[in-house]
Structure 1
Amino acid sequence: MSAAREYGLDENFEWPRPPAEGWTADDLDKLPNLPPHTELIDGSLVLMSPQTRFHSRTIHFLVHALTDQAPEHLEAIGEMTMRMDRKNRPEPDVLVVPVDADTGPRQTWFEPEDVVLAVEVVSADSVERDREVKPRKYAQAGVPHFWRVEEDNGLPVVYVYELDPATRVYALEDIHHNRLKVQRPFPIEIDLTAVNRRS
């Protein structure tokens, strides 16, 4: 079986061949036929595996909860990239950004200085990226708040981190089971057991 057929692609499909110096952040908007949610990490394209039900539900649940509780000048948005530098354009699962960071309907990324909170929902194929690589990059870029979300018996567990601006390293503030309650970046209270409710 050909690689194209194995991945459900047309037989004439050709994988993009990276330039010698690697891909750039601008390439993500120009390369044809990239799968949804392709990221750029250190000049390499990272393709996402299919989302699990937990992953998808948790992202939408958090976007909705954060949108409901954010002050008027902030908004929550799911699955948009952050252009960190020429070689890095990761896609956090959830972002909280200022409303005035909106550059129009064709916008595909945010600057790191616009990101108030980045959230990663850990998937089986992204454990190392979500626990180590991306948080380190977010901290170095100065993103002040980071949440890592893990699954435990079908429910989200939220690890809340805050940036030490002097060292550009995240410090673990708390681990939230069942109910998340924080005061920063703004007062937030979320019943995590409600992730699977439909009303």
Structure 2
Amino acid sequence: MRVEPEAPEPTWPTPPIGGWTADDLDRLPNLPPHTELIDGSLVFVSPQTLFHSRAVSFFEWQLQSVASAKLEVVREFTIDIDWQNRPEPDVVVVHGDVVQDPEQTRFPAESVLLAIEVVSPESVTRDRETKPVKYARAKIPHYWRVENNDGRAVVYVFELEPATGAYTSTGIFHDRMKVSEPFPVDLDLTAIAPRRRASEQ
């Protein structure tokens, strides 16, 4: 009689009392790529969609081409909000003086000028509700949320209101995005579509 070997049960990190900390994210072994820390809990992301990958690359390269030489544009890099929150925006624009060590794994939130999140089906609540509150609390001046509307990008732009400490909407952009803050940007959002589809428009 053949006995099938038992499949090993998956082992997941067991959180300590009080939850994980921002420093733990660097120390825990074998974490999946792009693991975030939200309220002391580890958040594992789903595989990227093609739209998500294209949108992240688009904003990374477009912003690098127009941002001041004193700024750095970095994709998928964690930021320290507090000891229990270390999210990973899809794209961040930071003051260049914080980019000092090629081995560094995070930026302080106070160095972030702009955080961009490209919404995935599993991240809708985090990107629309949870993260904006945390980014605003960390006084990140600008937040852009990018959503997939039937293959087309829609960008929701928010700016921090100093009096309330909350974000206020400053625009919703479909085919073309033109803003003056945090620096002048004029983007053709239709370029995020696959090349074949873009050429047919």
TM-score, normalising length from structure 1? 0.92
* Cα distance, 1:197 vs structure 2: 5.6
Q: Which runs of 5+ in 2 are unaligned?
A: 1-6, 196-201
Provide structure 1 residue ranges, at least 5 long, that are not aligned to the other structure: 6-10
Q: Percent identity?
A: 57
CA offsets 1:120-172 (integer angstroms, 9 cap, x no match): 11110010000000000000110000001101121211000000112110000
Matches within 5 A, 1:159-170: 159-170=156-167
- Tell me which amino acid in the other structure corresponds to 1:58: A
Question: Which of 28, 49, 54 does residue 31 from structure 1 map onto?
Answer: 28
- Say which of 169, 172, 195 aligns to 1:172: 169
The equivalent of 2:198 in structure 1 is none
**CA-atom RMSD in angstroms:** 1.4
Counterpart-to-counterpart distance in 2, 1:134 and 1:167: 17
- Report the CA distance between 1:179 and its aligned residue: 0.6
Question: Which of 124, 135, 154 is equivalent to 1:138?
Answer: 135
Corresponding residue pairs, total: 190
Query: Is structure 2 residue 27 aligned with structure 1 residue 51?
Result: no
Distance (Å, rounded) in 2 between the aligned partners of 1:108 and 1:57: 23
**Distance apart, 1:13 and its partner CA:** 4.6
CA separation in 1, counterparts of 2:155 and 2:9? 43
Q: TM-score of the superposition, structure 2-length normalised? A: 0.91
Distance 2:194 2:185 in 1: 19
> 1:21-74: CA deviations, max 9, x gaps?
100000000000000000000000000011100001100110000000101111
Aligned position for 2:84: 87
The whole-number CA distance in structure 2 between the counterparts of 1:155 and 1:109 is: 31
User: Quick check: which has more Rg, 1 or 2?
Assistant: 2
